[in-house]
Structure 1
């Protein structure tokens, strides 16, 4: 069975975060999220809202289309 969309999305967030050189805590702070919530997003344990997804894209300084590319 292929990974769920939440898991693929979380992997993409982690991949993009690492490419910026930020650790999880720094990125969570930039987004205004708790580090534990960021961890849950990256592991596919959380189902972020549309507003949270926009915040993640803004924190990565990319547009929404780029965030979902290759998912």
Structure 2
């Protein structure tokens, strides 16, 4: 089942996405803060994407943790600001 493979490989896919975002950001001479500002994210959120980390919390304030999973809107905003197609951020 193809969808199952994606779920099993999610940590690797997310890590690769984060590495690509970081490499493109650095190639453009941008700080995490500058990129975050351009896409309406905090520096910490950019750091979490680049590190493939999720620091979200549940309703009781406890850390949920896990692998970063940015919203599709965020993926498109990152691609736009970094001047690439969305597919360039994804593993091929």
If the length of structure 1 is used for normalisation, what is the TM-score? 0.85
- Which segments of 5 or more consecutive residues in structure 1 lack a partner in the other structure? none
Instruction: Kindly provide the CA deviation profile for residues 27-68 of structure 1, in whole angstroms up to 9, marking residues without a partner as x.
Output: 111111011111000000121011110011011011112222
Q: Which has the larger radius of gyration?
A: 2
Residues 6-43 of structure 1, C-alpha deviations (whole Å, 9 max, x = no match): 11110110001000000111111111101111100000
Match of 1:51?
73
Aligned residue pairs: how many? 69
1:40 equivalenced with 2:48 (yes/no): yes
> Which sections of structure 2, spanning at least 5 residues, go unmatched?
1-8, 54-67
Counterpart of 1:18 in structure 2 is 26
Task: Give the TM-score normalised by the residue count of structure 2.
Answer: 0.68
Kindly indicate which of the two structures has a greater share of residues assigned to helix: 1
Aligned alpha-carbon RMSD (Å): 1.7
Q: 2:12 aligns with which of 4, 19, 44?
A: 4
